[in-house]
Amino acid sequence: MRKVSIFGATGSIGQNTIDLIRRAPDAYDVVALTGGANIARLAGDAVALRADVAVTAYDDRLPDLRAALEGTGVEAAAGQAALVEAAARPADWIMSAIVGAAGLAPGLEALKHGTTLALANKESLVCAGRLLLETAAAHGARLLPVDSEHSAVFQGLAGEDIDAVERIVITASGGAFRDWPLEDLPTASLAQASSHPNWDMGQRITIDSASMFNKAMEVIETREYFGVQPEQIEVLVHPESLVHALVGFTDGALMAHLGAPDMRHAIGYALHWPERRELPVERLDLARIGQLNFRAPDPARYPALRLAYDVMARGGMMGAAFNAAKEQALDDFISGRIRFTDMAAVTETALERMSAERDLIDAAMTLDNVTRVDHLARQQAARAAEERIG
Ligand code: NAD
Ligand code: MG
């Protein structure tokens, strides 16, 4: 039996991971499940999967979790330290599917124990890619991509030499507003931004897809994970979301990865890697689909993409600043303080100000320093939002 833990078990990726694990109950021994405020789901799954421990991220939810788990034999825990402690428990495979920078500390801890980390939490690569990769290398741990584009690239690179790669093309659906008139974007509502044309995902990544902040993060994730140069990474709008990524080689060949827009593809690949096993996903009928469309992303519609290349050019810990400023701007959009289009403007202003913090941005990449950059960038973004509200 393989020992597995799922961080962010109550979310969209976490639930898809549980779906796969439930189908082969004898193959897995579940160590830890973590979640947030949805105690009923966390406790229900922990009992059903006979986890050793269930952890809620929120200290004040511990009494509820304890009550829900009473007499079940599943241990209850809460808070940031408990999340890190759960990541240190021996496991063969851990799914990192917490949303946001909060996924970084548990992920690092898992790697320090040599555990294979299936990484859906792209924010941790954007914040601290080098630190994650170096920690994995130092402890003989492996990082496997779960983001659909990066799983596709990873599969396209199997058996290939990274030096023979000319370019990596990641696709984007274009999000909820890909066909909206540009002048209507400032008035886009939270409900409109929270609905994705092709994928069923958590609210934050869905809004980030509408703004292309998600793709901007994925460009940086591509650079960090595969070690290619920024100019080798391209974004292509592909409304059908069936081609997830393409790898272009020096001989001109372009290898595309296709699959139904179902995250169980990428999760399953990471779960069974290095083997490929049968998965309960739809098989594409290309004759019925008939055509696939592609177009270049419009920079006026998606200013976030340019920011990703600015961040990579600046280097240091600008990735952590970018992610934090974006998270703060997203919080401010969700709470109704700023408009949809303000998110890119606020993030850009925060990044300009963070760029002036040279000593901090160029300091050694440690968890403490990443956290410092994260806090300051959130403050700068909050300030920039205040200024925009006036
Ligand atoms: P979600 O919002 O559905 O779930 C997030 C999970 O994280 C929940 O379990 C929640 O309780 C937990 N969480 C939230 N805040 C936390 C905190 N501060 N501390 C600890 N735990 C916290 O999100 P999701 O869509 O499942 O996305 C999870 C991650 O996977 C994100 O990094 C996202 O970018 C990435 N991802 C998601 C998809 C997708 O299809 N949903 C695809 C690719 C990548
Ligand atoms: Mg993706």
**Number of residues in the chain:** 390
Closest ligand (CA of 121)? 1
Residues 123 and 239 in one domain: no
CA 13 to ligand 1: nearest atom? 26
- Decide if 32 contacts 15 (C-beta within 8 A): no
Question: By C-alpha distance, which of 264, 386, 273 is closest to 328?
Answer: 386
Pocket test for ligand 1, best of 58, 98, 122, 150 (most atoms within 8 A of CB): 98
Q: Would you say 123 is a known binding-site residue?
A: yes
Q: How far apart are the first and last CA of the chain?
A: 58
Conformation bin of residue 136: beta by default, left when phi > 0, alpha when psi is -120 to 50: alpha
Residues 42 and 162 in one domain: no
The answer to whether residue 382 sits within a structural domain is yes
CA 208 to ligand 1: nearest atom? 34
Give pLDDT, residue 197.
87
Question: In b/e form, how buried is each residue of 199-217, taking b as 16+ CB within 10 angstroms?
Answer: bebbbbbbbbbbbbbbbbb
The Cα–Cα gap between 12 and 230 comes to 30
Residues 170 and 86 in one domain: no
Greatest Cα pair distance in the chain = 62
Residues 253 and 361 in one domain: no
Question: By C-alpha distance, which of 14, 12, 90, 92 is closest to 53?
Answer: 90
Q: Would you say 215 is a known binding-site residue?
A: yes
What is the CA 358 to chain-centroid distance, rounded? Answer: 27
Closest ligand (CA of 175)? 2
ipTM field:
0.99
Question: In b/e form, how buried is each residue of 137-148, taking b as 16+ CB within 10 angstroms?
Answer: eeeebebbbbbb
Q: How far away, in angstroms, is 172 Cα from ligand 1 center?
A: 19
Q: How far away, in angstroms, is 358 Cα from ligand 2 center?
A: 31
The Cα–Cα gap between 165 and 252 comes to 10
- Decide if 342 contacts 329 (C-beta within 8 A): yes
Pocket test for ligand 1, best of 59, 132, 205 (most atoms within 8 A of CB): 205
- Nearest-CA residue for atom 23 of ligand 1: 202
Residues 260 and 357 in one domain: no
Q: Would you say 173 is a known binding-site residue?
A: yes
The answer to whether residue 310 sits within a structural domain is no
Q: Would you say 100 is a known binding-site residue?
A: no
Residues 281 and 231 in one domain: yes
- Ligand 1: residues with CB < 6 A are 8-14, 35-36, 57, 97-100, 102, 120-123, 147, 199, 201-202, 204-205, 263
The answer to whether residue 33 sits within a structural domain is yes
The answer to whether residue 161 sits within a structural domain is yes
Question: In b/e form, how buried is each residue of 158-174, taking b as 16+ CB within 10 angstroms?
Answer: eeeeeeebebbbbbbbb
Q: For the CA atoms of 126, 128, 130, 136, what is the dihedral angle to 10 degrees? A: -110
* Domain-terminating residue out of 145, 172, 197: 145
Could you please report the per-residue DSSP string of 124-157? HHHHHHHHHHHHHHHTT--EEE-SHHHHHHHHHT
Q: Which amino acid is at 265?
A: H
Give pLDDT, residue 390.
82
Q: Would you say 159 is a known binding-site residue?
A: no
| Structural domain that includes position 8 | 2-145
Residues 140 and 157 in one domain: no
Q: How far away, in angstroms, is 55 Cα from ligand 2 center?
A: 26
Q: How many CB atoms lie within 10 A of CB 282?
A: 11
Residues 24 and 106 in one domain: yes
Residues 75 and 204 in one domain: no
Residues 75 and 127 in one domain: yes
The Cα–Cα gap between 383 and 235 comes to 31
- Decide if 370 contacts 104 (C-beta within 8 A): yes
Residues 30 and 138 in one domain: yes
The Cα–Cα gap between 184 and 258 comes to 33
Q: Would you say 195 is a known binding-site residue?
A: no
Conformation bin of residue 163: beta by default, left when phi > 0, alpha when psi is -120 to 50: alpha
The answer to whether residue 118 sits within a structural domain is yes
In the chain, how many domains are there?
3
Question: Pairing mode, if any, of strands 116-119 and 28-35?
Answer: unpaired
Q: How far away, in angstroms, is 351 Cα from ligand 1 center?
A: 24
* Domain-terminating residue out of 92, 114, 145: 145
Q: How far away, in angstroms, is 287 Cα from ligand 1 center?
A: 35
Give pLDDT, residue 246.
98
The Cα–Cα gap between 326 and 336 comes to 15
CATH of the domain at 320: 1.10.1740.10
Q: How far away, in angstroms, is 14 Cα from ligand 1 center?
A: 8
Q: Would you say 147 is a known binding-site residue?
A: yes
CA 204 to ligand 1: nearest atom? 2
The answer to whether residue 300 sits within a structural domain is no
Per-residue model confidence as pLDDT tens for the chain (390 residues): 999 999 999 999 999 999 999 999 899 999 999 999 999 999 999 999 999 999 999 999 999 999 999 999 999 999 999 999 999 999 999 999 999 999 999 999 999 999 999 999 999 999 999 999 999 999 999 999 999 999 999 999 999 999 999 999 999 999 999 999 999 999 999 999 999 988 899 999 999 999 999 999 999 999 999 999 999 999 999 999 999 999 999 999 999 999 999 999 999 999 999 999 999 999 999 999 999 999 999 999 999 999 999 999 999 999 999 999 999 999 999 999 999 999 999 999 999 999 999 999 999 999 999 999 999 999 999 999 999 988
Residues 329 and 374 in one domain: yes
Closest ligand (CA of 149)? 2
* Domain-terminating residue out of 119, 145, 171: 145
The answer to whether residue 139 sits within a structural domain is yes
Closest ligand (CA of 171)? 2
Pocket test for ligand 1, best of 99, 124, 218 (most atoms within 8 A of CB): 99
The answer to whether residue 296 sits within a structural domain is no
